[in-house]
Amino acid sequence: MSEIREFSPKRFAIASVTCPSCQIRIERDTKWCEACGFTGSKSMDMFGENPPPLLPILDVVDLWTPKEQKKIASAVKAFGKRFPQIKWRICAVMLGAEVSLPVFGFWLMNVCPLNTGETEEDREWTVLLLVDGKTGNTSVTTGYRAEVWLSDENWVPALAEASSAMRQGDTLQAVTNFLKTAKASFEKAWKRSQAQLKQEAAS
């Protein structure tokens, strides 16, 4: 398999803190997960080598109307006012229960070439929200820099809200409620990290 691409081949390593397949914590740039054997190229075997461009709102299944997409865009903008370093990607899919959303998210984040004007660092600050219109399942995939800052359990309340709205058929609220709850979690994590920094400076 030729590896000449527009993105860094390093991305084929598992550039995350948790394995997307079995969720155990792993070292950055590990070539495979020692617990379940997951590799970055395994995701390419599953989903191919030509993902759609990872746009800010990627809705290839027409889950949202153009008007709803505008509302999502302004909810993202509101989040960005408080935390401008986070680059959101909101993506609707119809994958069904047999496909693992975290593995699909890993594939999108790692195999999608960078967009025009998007840097490698931007991608590492990217948080991808996936919603599955078929199952109502939701997941979050974070770039490396965002991930070390905000651990998985911070997403639990926001994802629970999103999934429950999805299952009630409210696909717009799934996203807007998610962003609202995620913002609150970020605030808490931010305060925690600031307090930690202060403590480190004092010792």
Judged by the rule CB under 5 A, the positions of this chain that interact with Zn ion are: 19, 21-22, 33, 35-36, 38
CA distances, 75 to each of 78, 90, 128, 199 (Å): 5, 11, 15, 34
Cα(111)–Cα(26) distance, integer angstroms: 20
Cα(200)–Cα(144) distance, integer angstroms: 23
CA 193 to chain centre: 21
Q: Which is nearer to Zn ion, 139 or 173 (CB)?
A: 139
Cite the beta strand spans of 20-133 per DSSP E.
57-59, 87-93, 126-132
Q: Which is nearer to Zn ion, 35 or 55 (CB)?
A: 35
**Min separation Cβ 29 and Zn ion, Å:** 15
**Min separation Cβ 34 and Zn ion, Å:** 8
**Min separation Cβ 139 and Zn ion, Å:** 15
Q: Which is nearer to Zn ion, 111 or 182 (CB)?
A: 111
Q: Which is nearer to Zn ion, 23 or 119 (CB)?
A: 23
**Min separation Cβ 158 and Zn ion, Å:** 23
